[in-house]
Homo-oligomer: A and B are copies of this chain.
């Protein structure tokens, strides 16, 4: 095989900015990572413990994407054992501002959404 498929053919231009943003941080872990880093700079395994369920593999991929998009920075210290620190960039920090509003909304309205789902499900079961 001539082409390794480790290099993703990254789409550099996206017509829709919000689509572009949601595609990246709308995944399972990105937001959790950003919030963890909002409190303080963390090393790889610290993040791993902090987040909990994520595999190292996925954590690594997600971090690379976030770094690529400029949300976080990655600093390698030439030590033994190696030390790598992840931190929010200015972009990452500024992103969390509007995002916090949305998070707040989600918390405030989560119950209403759950209620709506239960109602709908009850209706569906009646029909059957």
Which residues on A are within 8 Å of B, measured CB to CB? 7, 10, 12-14, 17-22, 26, 28, 31, 67-70, 91, 94-95, 97-99, 101-107, 109-110, 112-118, 120-121, 124, 128
Are A67 and B124 in contact, CB atoms less than 8 angstroms apart? no
Q: Which of B99, B109, B115, B121 contacts A94 (CB 8 A)?
A: B109
Chain B minimum-CB-distance residue to A7: B124
Do A95 and B105 form a contact, CB below 8 Å, given A68-B116, A117-B68?
yes
Q: Which of B7, B20, B128 contacts A113 (CB 8 A)?
A: B20
Are B21 and A70 in contact, CB atoms less than 8 angstroms apart? no
Identical chains in the assembly: 2
Q: What are 11 of the A-B contact pairs (CB < 8 Å)?
A: A14-B110, A17-B106, A20-B110, A21-B110, A22-B31, A69-B116, A70-B112, A70-B113, A91-B109, A99-B102, A102-B102
Chain B minimum-CB-distance residue to A103: B18
Are A10 and B116 in contact, CB atoms less than 8 angstroms apart? no
Do A70 and B116 form a contact, CB below 8 Å, given A18-B31, A26-B22, A124-B7?
yes
Are A69 and B26 in contact, CB atoms less than 8 angstroms apart? no
State the CA gap A12–B12 with chains docked (Å): 37
